[in-house]
A and B are shown apart, each in its own frame.
Chain A
Amino acid sequence: AQSVAQPEDQVNVAEGNPLTVKCTYSVSGNPYLFWYVQYPNRGLQFLLKYITGDNLVKGSYGFEAEFNKSQTSFHLKKPSALVSDSALYFCAVRDPNTNAGKSTFGDGTTLTVKP
């Protein structure tokens, strides 16, 4: 079975500071990992994904994520946070051995960026 953990319900950072939103996963074999962002009263929007290759993945809006196989982590990062980055962030994992592309989502982390 696949699972995802986002250990922090809330992350607060000051505008201009770097941000990290943590994600750890459990899956058999090599995982496919995703980050999504959700703004208030909106659906989830895809940010980035790791399938294979370079451990540092770059995505939308200046976000990047680092895949670490030994630590089974896929933390989301941004060098300089903006107030507009404030949103709910979800990490998701997909077991490559399943069909239908079923994903398991973490419980979400609320990011608040203060001016």
Chain B
Amino acid sequence: DAGITQSPRYKITETGRQVTLMCHQTWSHSYMFWYRQDLGHGLRLIYYSAAADITDKGEVSDGYVVSRSKTENFPLTLESATRSQTSVYFCASSAGTGPTDTQYFGPGTRLTVL
């Protein structure tokens, strides 16, 4: 019963490198989300996906790319990492298509860009 997992849990990279953060859920939830958590900003939505092959931008999507070829996976790629992308990244999923469904969060990935 894995639920929702993220890998790696910790990542250090350098400015300009491409980095991919992985998210996997075992519930077959339709919706998946990527957030970043920064001190003083709470959680901000980067991208979300309503189903496989359907994705859309959130409020802070610049510099990020996502894909969703399979329902259970939702990788987030930083195409050319910048120091401002140092953050803790959370993936979440929810079952239903209605707005009342609860989001379940992964344990997070702490990314440091040097």
| Chain A interfacial positions (CB closer than 8 Å to B) | 32, 34, 36, 41-46, 49, 51, 90, 94-96, 98-103, 105-108
User: Which B residues are within 8 Å of any A CB, using their own CB?
Assistant: 4, 31, 33, 35, 40-45, 48, 50, 56, 58, 90, 92, 94, 96-108
Known: A44-B90, A100-B56, A107-B41. A95 touches B102 (CB 8 A): no
Q: Which residues of A contact B45 (CB under 8 A)?
A: 102-103
Chain B residues lying within 8 Å of A96, measured Cβ to Cβ, are 99
Q: Can you list 17 contacts pairing A with B, beta carbon distance less than 8 Å? A: A32-B100, A42-B108, A43-B105, A44-B43, A94-B99, A96-B99, A99-B50, A100-B31, A100-B48, A101-B31, A101-B96, A101-B103, A102-B48, A103-B45, A105-B44, A106-B42, A107-B41
Task: Give A78 to B58 CA distance when docked, in angstroms.
Answer: 33
Give Cα A94 to B100, complex, Å: 8
Q: A43 to B94, Cβ gap below 8 A?
A: no
Chain B residues with CB below 8 A from A34, complex form:
102
Distance of A98 Cα from B108 Cα, bound (Å): 26
* Residues from chain B with Cβ under 8 Å of A42 in the complex: 107-108
Assess the B42–A101 pair: CB atoms within 8 A: no
Which chain B positions have C-beta within 8 A of A43? Answer: 4, 90, 92, 105-108
Chain B residues whose C-beta falls within 8 Å of the C-beta of A36 in the assembled complex: 105
- A107-B102 contact, Cβ under 8 Å, with A43-B108, A100-B48: no
12 further contact pairs, Cβ within 8 A, besides A44-B105, A45-B105, A51-B100: A42-B107, A43-B90, A44-B43, A44-B92, A44-B103, A49-B102, A94-B99, A99-B50, A100-B31, A101-B31, A105-B35, A107-B40
Q: Which chain B residues border A44 with CB–CB below 8 Å?
A: 43, 90, 92, 103, 105
Please state if A101 and B105 are interface contacts (CB–CB under 8 Å).
Answer: no
How far, in Å, is A30 (CB) from chain B's closest CB?
A: 11
With contacts A43-B90, A43-B108, A44-B90 taken as known, whether A100 is within 8 angstroms of B50 at the C-beta atoms is yes
- A42 to B90: give the CA distance in the assembly, Å: 10
A101 touches B94 (CB 8 A): yes
Closest to A34 in B: B102
A102–B35 alpha-carbon span in the complex (Å) = 11
